[in-house]
Amino acid sequence: MALGAPRRRRLRPVTRLTWRTAGESHGPTLIGILEGIPAGLSLDIERVNEDLARRQLGYGRGGRMRIETDRVGILSGWKGGVTIGSPIAFEVKNKDSVIEKLPTPTNPRPGHADLAGCQKWGHRDPRAVLERASARETAARVAAAGIVRQVLEAFGIEVFGYLTGLGGIDCRPDGWEAAGERRSEIRQASDFLSLDPEADEAMRQAVDAAKEAKDSLGGTFEVRAEGLPPGLGSCASAQERLTGRLGGALFSIPAIKGVEFGIGFDVAARRGSDVHDPIVPSGAPGNAFARTTNRSGGLEGGMTTGEPLLIRAAMKPIPSIRIGMPTVDLHTGEATVATYQRSDVTSVPACSVVGEAMVALVLAEAFLDKFGGDSMGQVGAALDHYRGELQSLGKPLD
C-alpha cells in the first residue's frame, strides 16, 4: 500500500469462527481450516462423511461421482475425538488426481469462469482457472459445515436443505409439513433429495429428456433452520446484517442466480398488512414473544426473530453441455464451439446440500459471535443466561 493511501475498509464482519478452503478439482486433495470451534465438542466424523456422501447423490450426476468416494480426514484440532480449541485442519482427497495429465482447453466455455478468469490473471490456459472455480471445491465446504453443524445441534439448532423444483417441475409447496418427522428419511430415499416422492418421476423424465438433447437443467432448493434464538446477527452495521451474510454465502456457490427469504419477491405485490408478521405473547420457555405468521422467513432488521429461518435459492443449468456453445479460441482468435468437459446433466440435488452447508456455516458464525466461549460449556452458559433475559423481557415492569 502506498504511503498515505487510504486503508481499505473491511466489508465482512470479524467473527470468532473462520474457515478457508484450498485445492483444485483434479489436484491431489482439498484442504480446509476451521478456527473458533469451542473445546469440548465430541466430533462424530461419520456424520461429516454422511454429509459428503449426500453431496454426491442425485439423479443426473456425471461420471466424476462414480470415481470419488469423499471422506474427511482430520489433521489437527482434536484429541481422542474431542475438539481442543485449536484450529481444525482437514482434507478430502481426490481419487481423480490427474491435473497435470489433462489437456489444455483453448476454447473457454460460456457460463463458466473460464474467460473472465483468463482475462483477470492473463492466462491462455483456462484450466488454470476452471480447476479452482469448479464446484468440486464445495466438498471442502460441506466437510467444514459437517463439523460446525454439530456445534449448532448441541444447542438444539437444526439446518435442513432439500430440492423444491427441477427443470420447471415444482415439488408440492407443503412438502415440509407433509413430511413431518420423516423428512430425513424421505429426502434420503429420493433420487433428487426432495420431500415430494410423486414429483420425482416427472423430474427423472425431465433429466432423461435433457440428456437426450445433450443439454442441462437448473432448479430450486430450500434451506430451513429451526431452534434459532432471536437476535443472531445485528442491525448495528451493514456487514453484520444476517440477511446479507446468508445471501452472500449462498451466492458464493457456483451457479446460484437467485436467493429469497420467506415469501421473497411476493412482498413486492402485497400490502404491508399482508407482509409483516404480527407479534403475540408466547407461552414457550426462553422467549416471551412469538409470531402468528413467518412471511419474513425468520429475519427482521438483519437479525433472527426466533421463528424458523426459511431461504430459497435458484441454480442455473450447468454450462458444460454436450450440445456445444459458441465461443472464441484463445490461441487463434477464431470462432469455434466450446469443448465439453465431463459434467452432470443437473446437480441441483447436490447444490441443496452445499446450500445447507453454507447456511450452517453462517449461522454458526453468528451463534458463536453472540454466545462465544472457549468451551462448549461456556457457550451453553451464555445461551442459558440469554434465554433468561428473553423470558424476563416479556414480564410487566415493576
H-type alpha helices, the chain: 45-55, 64-67, 114-121, 127-133, 138-154, 175-179, 183-189, 197-212, 242-251, 348-371, 376-393
Q: Which pLDDT band, with edges at 50, 70 and 90, does 12 fall under?
A: low
Residues paired with 160 in a beta bridge: 224
**Which residue positions form the known binding site for NADP(+)?**
55, 61
**Which residue positions form the known binding site for FMN?**
132-134, 301, 316-320, 342
Residues paired with 194 in a beta bridge: 163
Q: Say if residue 202 is exposed, middle or buried (CB neighbours under 10 Å; 0-12, 13-18, 19+).
A: middle
Whether the per-residue pLDDT at 8 is higher than 60: the answer is no
Phi and psi at residue 74, in whole multiples of 5°?
Answer: -85, 125
Mean pLDDT of 151-180: 97
Give the separation between CA 31 and CA 140, rounded to whole angstroms: 7
Task: Give the single-character DSSP code of 247.
Answer: H
Whole-number pLDDT of residue 322: 83
Give the separation between CA 159 and CA 227, rounded to whole angstroms: 9
Exposure string (b/e) for 331-351, b if CB count within 10 Å is 16 or more? eeeeeeebeebebbbbbbbbb
> What percentage of the chain has pLDDT greater than the value 90?
73
Chain-centre distance for alpha carbon 394: 35
**Which residue positions form the known binding site?**
55, 61, 132-134, 301, 316-320, 342
Domain ranges of the chain: 18-393
Mean pLDDT of 229-255: 95
pLDDT tens sequence across 328-373: 998 899 999 887 766 789 999 999 999 999 999 999 999 999 998 8
pLDDT tens sequence across 50-96: 999 999 999 987 665 666 789 999 999 999 999 999 999 999 998 87
Helix, coil or strand: residue 158: strand
Using an 8 Å Cβ cutoff, are 271 and 384 in contact?
Answer: no
pLDDT tens sequence across 185-220: 999 999 999 999 999 999 999 999 999 999 999 999
Mean pLDDT of 168-192: 96
Give the separation between CA 102 and CA 330, rounded to whole angstroms: 18
Grid coordinates 437448473 are at which residue? 218
Q: Thinking of the domain 18-393, which architecture would CATH place it in?
A: 4-Layer Sandwich (3.60)
pLDDT tens sequence across 245-284: 999 999 999 999 999 999 999 999 999 999 999 999 987 7
Which cell goes with 159?
439446518
Whole-number pLDDT of residue 131: 86
Using an 8 Å Cβ cutoff, are 127 and 115 in contact?
Answer: no
Q: Which of 13-27, 136-150, 345-359 has the lowest mean pLDDT?
A: 13-27
Whole-number pLDDT of residue 1: 44
Whether the per-residue pLDDT at 236 is higher than 80: the answer is yes
Whole-number pLDDT of residue 391: 85
Q: Which pLDDT band, with edges at 50, 70 and 90, does 285 fall under?
A: confident
The answer, as to whether pTM is greater than 0.85, is yes
Strands 309-315 and 219-226: antiparallel
Helix, coil or strand: residue 321: coil
Whole-number pLDDT of residue 211: 93
Cα-based angle 217, 223, 226 (whole degrees, multiple of 5): 165
Q: Give the residue from 320, 110, 310 showing the smallest Cα distance to 224.
A: 310
pLDDT tens sequence across 82-135: 999 999 999 999 887 776 778 888 888 898 899 999 999 999 888 889 889 888
